Every structure is written in C-alpha cells, then in structure tokens.
Amino acid sequence: MVTYARRHGLKPLGAGIGLRRSFYEELPRTGRALDWVEIIPENFLTLGGRPQRTLDACAERWPVLPHGVGLDIGGPDALDADYVTRLAALVERVDAPFFSDHLCYSRLDGVYLHDLLPLPFTEAAVEHVVPRVREVMARVGRPFLLENPSYYARMPGGTLSEADFLRHVVEEADCGLLLDVNNVYVNALNHGYDARAFVDALPLERVVQVHLAGHTRYPDVIIDTHGDRVCGDVWSLYRHVLRRTGPVATLIEWDQDIPSLDAVLDEADVARAALREVAGR
C-alpha cells in the first residue's frame, strides 16, 4: 500500500522536540542529537523579537514543523483568513515539509477558546470538516496532518466510533494523520477501550508523525497535561504503532512543568532508539 508520506515524498525525520520559551537560549546552540523541531505557530505568527530570532536559528539547523492549536478546523465559524494567510507564510518561511493541527474546534461566535474541544463523532461533523481541511491544504499548499485529540467526554449525538470518525475525515479529506499515542492511551483509559485495538482500527498508512507526552492521573480522570515523562505503557504502545507504521517522525511533547532541555532530549533519545530498532528490522 502506498502510504500518504510516500505519495507526498515525505521521509521519516527521526526524533524531535518542541521549541518552548524556556529553551530559546539553549536549544539553538545544543550539541545534543536532535533531528527536527516542532513549533506552535501561534507563538510566531504575530509575535516578534526573541521568538523570531530563535526560530530563525533553529530553522538553520533543523527541519521545523508547525503544529497549530488555533486553526479551528472543526468549528462553525469561517476559517480565520488572517490566521491561515500568516500560517501559510510561516510554513513557507521555514520550508516545512508538512504542517498539522488538531481534529477539534476551538472558536465559537468569534471567540477563541484556546482549547481543543472535541467534536461529536457524526457523519454531519465529517461532512463539515472535510471541505475545511481541503480549503486549508489548498491555501497553504503543503501536506497537512490532523491529530487525534484527547477528550474527556463523548459529545452528544455520536453515531460513529472514534476510529471510524478519524478514518472518514482523513480519508475523505485526503490528509495525513498525526497519531498522538499519549492521547490514545489517555482516551482509552478515560473511556474504557483497548488502546491497541483502537490503533489497529486507524488508517495507519496515513500516519506521518507521532506525538509522545506525559499525562496526569486524578482519581476519576487522566488529563493530557504534557507535564511529565512518557510513561512505560505509552512507550509500549508507541512500539506497537511503529511495528505497523515503520519509522515516522516522533515528537516528545512537554508543555507544563517543563524540565531541563537535557531531560527532554533524553526522552527524544529513547524515541530515536526505538525508531532505529524498527528501521533495522
């Protein structure tokens, strides 16, 4: 089967980390192994000064992949034209091989909610999202990936399974899939399903990138905080994914209680070793 990556000439990039403010000084000068850097484009679309200088320094050393949180691909409002124009310019500027955002909504009545809110798993939502994905891809002009978000409650009216919802959207829109393995794990525990069976039900030939992160356990729910090391179960699920997809660009996502750069790069080293292992099978 021809994968989405092969169709678009995308090669596995290795292991990357997110460019976060606390790394602005140290990251561009690091001597540690790092294959690529992910940025949250919202931090660079309208903010000048130090973020831009750091971004330029990183782009000179590594591939840079924009991973947005504000596209609002599933929302009822029209796409934010200014946002998409700026995003396209940023993608061009860093010459990103692809870009990504989340399968969710994040804006209502013109108000940015600054969160990734789950859609109902319905045919109506699929019909709504698919042309918006196509519009974004046409306007930005690069391959686009949608991420499976974490969610804490199933939205009302759902008629599809989560995996079928994801499959319908990415296949009908013909975009790639950014598989957040921690989200799969968190969702599986919060909603009581088998994480590996869920992975196996996805259109894995469309996976171009993987996210790994930590989470926080509370008595009644697990929150996708990106505030800890990747746990053993998520590493295990990641290896399960890699056995099916082969090597794919893998990000260590750490957004809260961010530790030292070395600690995050240590996690990336573990991912890189897993990627080499699966590449050498």
Partner 1 sequence: MKPALKHFFDSMGAYLARPGPESLERLYSEHPGWDAPRERVALYGDFIRGHVRGALEKVFPLVRGAVGPDAWGALVEGYTLTRPARHHELNHLAEGFPAFLADAAASNGLAPFVPALARFEWTDFAVFTSEAPSPEPVARLTANPTLAVLEHPFRLCAYVRAKGALAKPEAGEEVALVWRHPEQLVTFYVEATPPALLVLKMAVEGLSMEDVAAATGMSVEALRSAVERCARDGLVLRPSASGG
**Applying CB under 8 A, which residues contact partner 1?**
42-43, 45-53, 70, 75-76, 80, 83, 105, 108-115, 117, 120, 122, 124-125, 127-128, 152-157, 190, 220-221, 223
Task: State both tokens at 211.
Answer: 């996210």
Comparison of 108 and 263: residue with beta carbon closer to partner 1: 108
Among residues 7 and 114, whose Cβ is nearest to partner 1? Answer: 114
- Our CB check for partner 1 shows the closer of 30 and 122 to be 122
Which residue type, as a one-letter code, is found at position 81? A
CB of 251 to partner 1, least distance (A): 21
Residue 218 tokens, joined: 């509370």
Task: Please enumerate in sequence order all residues whose Cβ is within 8 A of that of 62, keeping only pairs 6 or more positions apart, or say none.
Answer: 16, 34, 35, 36, 37
CB of 193 to partner 1, least distance (A): 15
Contact in structure between 145 and 181 (CB atoms under 8 Å): no
> Please, what is the minimum distance in Å from the beta carbon of residue 9 to partner 1?
30
Supply the minimum distance, in Å, between the C-beta of residue 34 and partner 1: 23
- What does residue 13 show for φ and ψ, rounded to 5 degrees? -100, -15
* In the complex, minimum distance from the CB of residue 102 to partner 1, in angstroms, rounded to a whole number: 14
How many Å from the N-terminal Cα to the C-terminal Cα in the chain?
A: 19
Determine the Cα–Cα distance for residues 15 and 275; give it in Å rounded to an integer.
8
> Does residue 59 contact residue 108 with C-beta atoms inside 8 Å?
no
Is 173 or 278 the residue whose CB approaches partner 1 more closely? 173
Residue closer to partner 1 (CB basis): 80 or 172: 80
